[in-house]
Amino acid sequence: MRISEAATISGLSADTIRYYEKSGLVPAIRRGPDRLRRFSPENVEWLTLLYWLRKTGMPMKEMQRFAELYRQGASSIPERKTLLLRHEVRLRERRADLDQCSKVLAYKIATYKKIEGDLS
Amino acid sequence: MRISEAATISGLSADTIRYYEKSGLVPAIRRGPDRLRRFSPENVEWLTLLYWLRKTGMPMKEMQRFAELYRQGASSIPERKTLLLRHEVRLRERRADLDQCSKVLAYKIATYKKIEGDLS
DNA sequence: CTACGGGTCTGGAGTGGCTCCACGTCAAGG
DNA sequence: CCTTGACGTGGAGCCACTCCAGACCCGTAG
């Protein structure tokens, strides 16, 4: 499959995929005889994973490390697992941020409503 | 109060506060006779709000609009409220992203565990 | 055969939102 | 009087994209 299809499936843009490849985040994208990229299902699965990791705040350096481990094969699985577990911690932190922000907003909106009530 | 204290209380860095002021996100920061910024409690409350909005993904353009409305006084309160309500929608979307990512991670980690089990 | 439209390539510039730094000023303390 | 430390400004640097120009290739229509 070619880049546009890989983009729609993974959620990343074609530009971002190329950028990720250049930055070493995507191991082993082959090229066809036409020099165009060909994406295997594993490639697309990998990109989809990157999509979610990035979207939830994993920095590129960490994704680079992750890709490096991936290239090293099955022996790196324990370390890959710890990396993902650390990301789960980040998810929890982000959820706490969202909750905190919800509270702040609820308070603000309530005071706005009160002011509106006072004015009318 | 001066910038470093405002920074620790609001959660923003002094650099970011100066940057926000320059970008028109913080109305009416006075200066003392020493030309240093003096932050009122309302200033700090405002900065804290900005901190949470930014941290949860409100773009600067929207915060600029918000600040503009704030400068227009109480008559802009309905529009400020809708702006915050729209941000609440964004919070829900982000929570959904985190949940989705959690699922992806859980699946990945489970397959890693399975592979580790198979190897040993 | 040629023209053209569409998808892809590369390299490079531009953007958003900070972050860091050099250099200068000023007030308080030793 | 001299140093120290918080603050000021202007500008460079950084991350993670995003957009664009210009070239290439393929298929289809005229």
State the pLDDT confidence band at A119, using cuts at 50, 70 and 90.
Answer: confident
- Regions in chain B scoring below 50 on pLDDT: none
Q: For tokens 């929890």, what's the residue? A: A92
Say whether residue A95 is in contact with chain B using an 8 A CB cutoff. yes
Question: With an 8 Å Cβ cutoff, are A104 and B74 in contact?
Answer: no
Supply φ then ψ for residue B38, to 5 degrees: -120, 125
With beta carbons less than 8 A apart as the criterion, state whether A44 and A9 touch.
Answer: yes
Displacement of CA B71 from its chain's centroid (Å) = 19
- pTM for this structure? 0.94
Q: For the segment A21-78, what is each residue's pLDDT rounded down to a tens digit? A: 999 999 989 999 999 999 999 999 999 999 999 999 999 999 999 999 999 999 999 9
* Covered bases, chain C (protein CB within 7 Å): 7-10, 16-21, 26-27
Say whether residue B45 is in contact with chain A using an 8 A CB cutoff. no
Q: What is the pLDDT of residue B120?
A: 72
DSSP string, A17-76: HHHHHHTT-S---EE-TTS-EE--HHHHHHHHHHHHHHHTT--HHHHHHHHHHHHT-GGG
Ramachandran quadrant class, B18 (left: phi over 0; alpha: psi -120 to 50; beta: rest): alpha
Q: What is the pLDDT of residue B118?
A: 84
Query: What's the mean pLDDT in A87-95?
Result: 98
Residue at B114: amino acid letter: K
Q: Which residues are CB-neighbours of A23 under 8 A, at least 6 positions away?
A: A60, A64
Which chain B residues are within 8 Å of A77, Cβ to Cβ?
Answer: 112, 115-116
Q: What is the pLDDT of residue B116?
A: 85
Q: What is the pLDDT of residue B24?
A: 96
